[in-house]
Structure 1
Amino acid sequence: MANKELIIPADILGAYRDVFTAEALDTLAVLAHYNVAIKEAMVARIKRRNDRAAQQEKIRFLDEESYIPRTNINVGDAREGKFEGAVIPADLQRQWIQGTGPAAKPNAPVDSSIRNVAYALLSGADGWMFDGEDALGQISTMSLDNQRNLKLAFSRDPLFLGVAERVAGEMNRWATGFLGRETIRDWRSQLDFTTKIFRARGLHLADRHIRATDGTAFSASIVDLVLYVVNNFRALQASGSAIVLYLPKIQTAGEAALWDELITALESHLGLATGTIKVYVLVEQLEATFQLMEIRAALGKHFVGFNTGRWDYINSVADAMSWDKEFIHPNIEEITMTYGYMRNYEDRVRRAVNTPDVNGNTALWQGGMEPNIPVGSATGVTESMERAVAGARREQRAGASGKWVAHWKMVHIVRPVWETVGEDNQLGRAFPSLTYTAEDAGGLTLLEPAQRTVRGARNLLSVALQYGNAFGQGMQAAALKPADFFGNDDVLYLMEDMATGEIRLSILWEWLHKGARLTEDEPAAGTKAGDRFTPELFTHLLDEEYGKLLAATNKDVHDDSKGTTLPIARAIALAYVHNALKLPWFVDLLNINLNNYNLLVAEERIRLYIKTFNETKVRITGNLDF
């Protein structure tokens, strides 16, 4: 199909007529002009990044006399809460536990794929963020399967109801064995308990199935926003549910203002009042932490809260500081939410949400991700669950109104932390107002002494390779652990998404190009404390960790991946870490190799991407097989 705005292949339209309805296609055409503005915003991102590197300057707070781009809001006014924000809707007032995960499985028929939605809505989570981004596989037509499954589930299609009844029985059998009780009394009524939330893909990503008529890549953000809202807003409103989105990877208040324009235009086109659609913002980017109140103000009546987390945010810090030879991270395991710049980041977020707007409205803070899964030895599960609950208690005490879990089995393990306290939320809890001093800025990139070891490098490499392999197989949400712990049930698998690959390769790039010094002896690798992390050591560890994955059982590394997507994952990791210029997104190299299982083709695409970015600073984001 082609109109003056879009090109969509006929086979895609034919297979997904229920997703690409006439109303959805019309709305896509109406909003298509925002594609240009999004591209301009992404060019501006890269320019800011390049300029800071060239001038060796850290990110700064905005001038309080300036105005937020695309708005008439003064920065100083935004910081003082002189803007109109949102009233928190009833079904977001209590969000003790939000689960997250995709609504589809790779290469699965609908009745199997849609089980993901049933698990989510029967989990007992207060909200579920159905992911269109970091945890959703993008091979073949998974992004459209995701949209289809949500539409079928929210409209209570008989196919979904049949699946939900069977899944409820399975979940109760697990709960009886693990928790000693059933968690679902009436599966039909349980389906209405969980608030439905959707995470659209970020502004930096292009859709695989749609292009502009000039042949250029088309924004995945526009596609996800339109297909989700157009196909579900009537069913959500009929059930009394709010229309809620999570917006990822926002770097500036100007980008938030662009999202606000896009959402407002969609509301207007659908005849919805401005502010009908509510949004959380994932604070995943260092630059955003310098503009939190400005982001709140730019999103105005749409904004309901911020979410904090680890992997994406750490990656953004590594990326923003890639030019600084002295800025070198320790082992990834050392960088918890209480480490250096992380605790300062979290503190700024909780202060920002508790600053009232002109009407006295404050916003929600949803805490970070719990990646553990209660599957393993009795000792391993017990210890991991104790850590999970302790982490939740820390966030609750710090002021979070709830947190995330990456698997439905974790809901009833972590939710009691907030259940015991009993308060729906911590809206408006008193914290000091944000300040904007040089000390504040310095705290947002504060490193503290911690271990940097060969063991840490092995963990980084092993999980990064496994994640790249899982991505190529369509499993962007994958249960992973370092290869040295395969077969050790005391060490649990963790649910990981795209962010895990991004940060692990970022840290390895940092160690290699900045000459990181190891902090302890490692006789097996022939290294001592004080030795630098050299190209030779990196190659040696890469070969060893890759060999372990080739030798692993099918349980840990699918045998059919060992000659297809695993070698491609290795080639991408090698190219990313070796390139002298730090590439902005690991996901780009994975995306251009989706549905490709030929190593020679992959190597040519990797060379093309790196050559293009090194020479022009332009990212290749479109589907090369379109």
Structure 2
Amino acid sequence: MSIIIRDNLKETYRDVYTAEALSALSALAHFNKRIKAVMATRLKRRTDRRQQHQRITFLDPESVIPGTSIRVQDARDGKFEGSPIPADLQRQWIQGTGPAAKPNAPVENSIRNVAYALLSGADGWMFDGEDALGQITTMSLDNQRNLKLAIHKDPVFLKAAEQVAAEMNRWAVSFLGREIITDWGNQLNFTTKIFRARGLHLDDRHIRDAEGTALAASIVDATLYVVNNYQALQQAGSSVVLYLPKIQTAEEAAVWNELLTALENHLGLETGTIKVYVLVEQLEATHQLMEIRAVLGKHFVGYNTGRWDYINSVSDAMAWDKTFINPNIEAITMTYGYMRNYEDRVRRAVNTPDLHGNFALWQGGMEPNIPVGSEAGVSASMQKAVAGAGREQREGASGKWVAHWKMVHIVRPVWAEIGAANQLGRAFPRLTYTQADADGLILIEPAPTDIRGARNLLSVALQYGNAFGQGMQAAALKPADFFGNDDILYLMEDMATGEIRLSILWEWLHKGATLTEDDPETGTKAGAVFSEELYRKLLDEEYEKLLKAASKDVYENSKTTTLPIALEIANVYILSEVKPPWFIDLLNINLNNLDLAVAKNRIGLYMNTLKTEGKRITENLDFAPTNPVAS
């Protein structure tokens, strides 16, 4: 066998690591070198941009997309074979997102996540293996186990679903005035099951290849999900659907395409059986949308516009440019400067036909609100959520995401009232590739940059790092100043929302952001520069608020374990002259570690390796060879 599984997990999770799954993993393990190579190329592009002050540009139209035989201009003209949209993806007004497992929970409790999702009334549910799934202990395997039990309708899942249905109806009666589930058994068949694998930039925590190199998480996630579930999905008349995250270039998309084709060949499936949405989360990807669509070919069905990751990618790509400074995070909506230009390019890319006249789907962005709080707070937030959904529908999206099952019946009517299953083929101008287009993708517009914004960025970033260490990569959070204020609702935050907060603070500090408002509390005046002294003062104050918070908002046991580590990570990230490429790297190397001294050593090792060797440490340091593997 060409893979190594740590400890006794092969036996403990024999229902996940089946003989068929292990055979497929071994057959696909050779892709590990290819993935590591394209990730090294990605990191070099980033370093070159920083050192040479380079902006991202469009590809030469006469060039060939690396790793393929497709000419760039042909991709842009739609001269490729794509995919018709399967029946169960034709209508995806609302897709929910969230993990299929809970941290440190027995399967009977953990699997309730899947029951809530499949009884929610969402048209599709993206079960997350990436940004919203905790990775402590063996959560990635628990996630796979729960999905397999649910898709195969195992008795343990059906028992949980019956209980959850009753609970959901009790909530619905109190909030909506009616039940939302009449036949829970039949309702389980309504929602299309979708899985988000981890991106090419992450390594699995439990498997190494035969050479001892950590196996790319993308190989593991996609293989385990597809092998364990494709037959049950097909027997139920469902498509096998993945979301592919964090793709930056068409070359990276081509690696995904080869990986998925090889998996299909291994299983004896027709090429294109596995369907994929691509999360457009990276600035570089918006320069290559048609090229990405072309190389994924028969696998591709649509794009999603993910606000948070995209903000971070723009910030990261422009880290070298002292004139590019994001405002308060609340100001960067989908209608802000570079965000509206990004959204416009996506809608034009999906409605450019391929050789056979096939169009693609556009799934809109995330609604992070949860209807829990005061009557006034919930009312205002739900109005905002519905208005946002309406805007996306008018702009051409065929649906959107929600971060909590309670939001499905609040937002879905926006599309149901229109009645059309999707907006495939709605006329938009074809993409252009001018300097003005490139400039629009990094367009900064005037907006507030103030102390209130800085406090919010710091508070939620620290809380997110703490939640991550506790195994909750998706957590309901809000700034500490609003703890106890039910008029301000908690928002569902995941890896991306934690990362962008640190990224913006890094910008403010290292580029000398000018504050736009007076702040009586600190005595700071409009026109002042965001200094290191001011940053340290705010950090101390916001951290102290978390230490004093009730356990409802900050678990008491975390205040001496994971919270200090979250503080150390945030501080190193923000103060470092060399901006870390991924917040998740610093969090991942400290998973299952509660010792601050150990954390400091690991963070120091990571930053030193990045600065001196230009490499990331992406492996599980608790399952490591003598010398850590960098990629």
Band the TM-score falls in, shorter-chain normalisation: over 0.9
Match of 2:115 in 1: 118
Match of 1:336 in 2: 333
Match of 1:45 in 2: 42
Match of 1:322 in 2: 319
> Quick check: 1:179 aligned with 2:176?
yes
- Range with bigger deviation, 285-294 or 211-220: 211-220
Paired AA for residue 190 in structure 2: F
Aligned partner of residue 431 in structure 1, secondary structure: coil
Give the Cα separation in 2 of the matches to 1:54 and 1:167.
Answer: 54
Aligned partner of residue 158 in structure 2, secondary structure: helix
Aligned partner of residue 8 in structure 2, secondary structure: helix
Paired AA for residue 622 in structure 1: E
Aligned partner of residue 94 in structure 1, secondary structure: coil
Deviations 1:50-108 (A, max 9, x none): 11122211100000000111111100000000000011000000000000000000000
Counterpart selection for 1:133 from 106, 109, 130: 130
Counterpart selection for 1:152 from 149, 154, 157: 149
Give the Cα separation in 2 of the matches to 1:291 and 1:273.
Answer: 27
Paired AA for residue 112 in structure 1: N
> Quick check: 1:33 aligned with 2:30?
yes
Match of 2:223 in 1: 226
Paired AA for residue 143 in structure 1: S
Aligned partner of residue 620 in structure 2, secondary structure: coil
Paired AA for residue 400 in structure 2: K
CA deviation after TM superposition for structure 1 residue 574, in Å? 0.3
CA deviation after TM superposition for structure 1 residue 523, in Å? 2.0
CA deviation after TM superposition for structure 1 residue 133, in Å? 0.1
Aligned partner of residue 560 in structure 2, secondary structure: coil
Give the Cα separation in 1 of the matches to 2:210 and 2:429.
Answer: 51
Alignment of 1:469-618 (within 5 A): 469-618=466-615
Aligned partner of residue 417 in structure 2, secondary structure: helix
Paired AA for residue 200 in structure 1: A
Alignment of 1:40-439 (within 5 A): 40-439=37-436
CA deviation after TM superposition for structure 1 residue 11, in Å? 1.1
CA deviation after TM superposition for structure 1 residue 334, in Å? 0.4
CA deviation after TM superposition for structure 1 residue 526, in Å? 2.1
Give the Cα separation in 1 of the matches to 2:343 and 2:134.
Answer: 29
Deviations 1:543-564 (A, max 9, x none): 0000000000000000010000
Deviations 1:20-59 (A, max 9, x none): 0001000000000000000001000011111112221110
CA deviation after TM superposition for structure 1 residue 9, in Å? 2.1
Give the Cα separation in 1 of the matches to 2:95 and 2:308.
Answer: 18
Give the Cα separation in 1 of the matches to 2:311 and 2:224.
Answer: 31
Paired AA for residue 79 in structure 1: R
Paired AA for residue 408 in structure 1: W
Give the Cα separation in 1 of the matches to 2:83 and 2:143.
Answer: 29
Give the Cα separation in 2 of the matches to 1:436 and 1:390.
Answer: 32
Aligned partner of residue 541 in structure 2, secondary structure: helix
Deviations 1:473-501 (A, max 9, x none): 00000000000000000000000100011
CA deviation after TM superposition for structure 1 residue 179, in Å? 0.4
Deviations 1:399-422 (A, max 9, x none): 000000000000000000000000
Give the Cα separation in 2 of the matches to 1:537 and 1:13.
Answer: 51
CA deviation after TM superposition for structure 1 residue 214, in Å? 2.1
Aligned partner of residue 495 in structure 1, secondary structure: strand
Deviations 1:594-616 (A, max 9, x none): 00000010011010100110111
CA deviation after TM superposition for structure 1 residue 213, in Å? 2.5
- Range with bigger deviation, 50-59 or 72-81: 50-59
Deviations 1:271-321 (A, max 9, x none): 000000000000000000000000000100000000002110000000000
Give the Cα separation in 1 of the matches to 2:98 and 2:390.
Answer: 23
Give the Cα separation in 2 of the matches to 1:476 and 1:231.
Answer: 24
Deviations 1:328-381 (A, max 9, x none): 110000000000000000000000000000000000000000000000000000
Paired AA for residue 307 in structure 1: N
Paired AA for residue 216 in structure 2: S
Paired AA for residue 556 in structure 2: D
Deviations 1:88-139 (A, max 9, x none): 0000000000000000000000000000000000000000000000000000
Aligned partner of residue 63 in structure 1, secondary structure: coil
Give the Cα separation in 1 of the matches to 2:454 and 2:295.
Answer: 40
Paired AA for residue 431 in structure 1: F
- Runs of 4 or more, structure 1, over 2 Å off, are none
Consecutive unaligned residues of structure 1, counting only runs of 5 or more, are none
Match of 2:437 in 1: 440
Give the Cα separation in 1 of the matches to 2:179 and 2:325.
Answer: 48
Deviations 1:207-256 (A, max 9, x none): 00001222221100000010000000000000000000000000000000
Consecutive unaligned residues of structure 2, counting only runs of 5 or more, are 624-631
Counterpart selection for 2:622 from 584, 601, 625: 625
Give the Cα separation in 1 of the matches to 2:538 and 2:212.
Answer: 42
Paired AA for residue 606 in structure 2: Y
**% of aligned pairs identical?**
75
Aligned partner of residue 318 in structure 1, secondary structure: helix
Aligned partner of residue 278 in structure 1, secondary structure: strand
Structural RMSD (CA):
0.5
CA deviation after TM superposition for structure 1 residue 524, in Å? 1.1
Give the Cα separation in 1 of the matches to 2:409 and 2:173.
Answer: 12
Aligned partner of residue 476 in structure 2, secondary structure: strand
Aligned partner of residue 425 in structure 2, secondary structure: coil
Aligned partner of residue 525 in structure 1, secondary structure: coil
Give the Cα separation in 1 of the matches to 2:431 and 2:211.
Answer: 45
Paired AA for residue 399 in structure 2: G
Paired AA for residue 320 in structure 1: A
- Superposition TM-score, scaled by structure 2 size: 0.98
CA deviation after TM superposition for structure 1 residue 10, in Å? 4.2
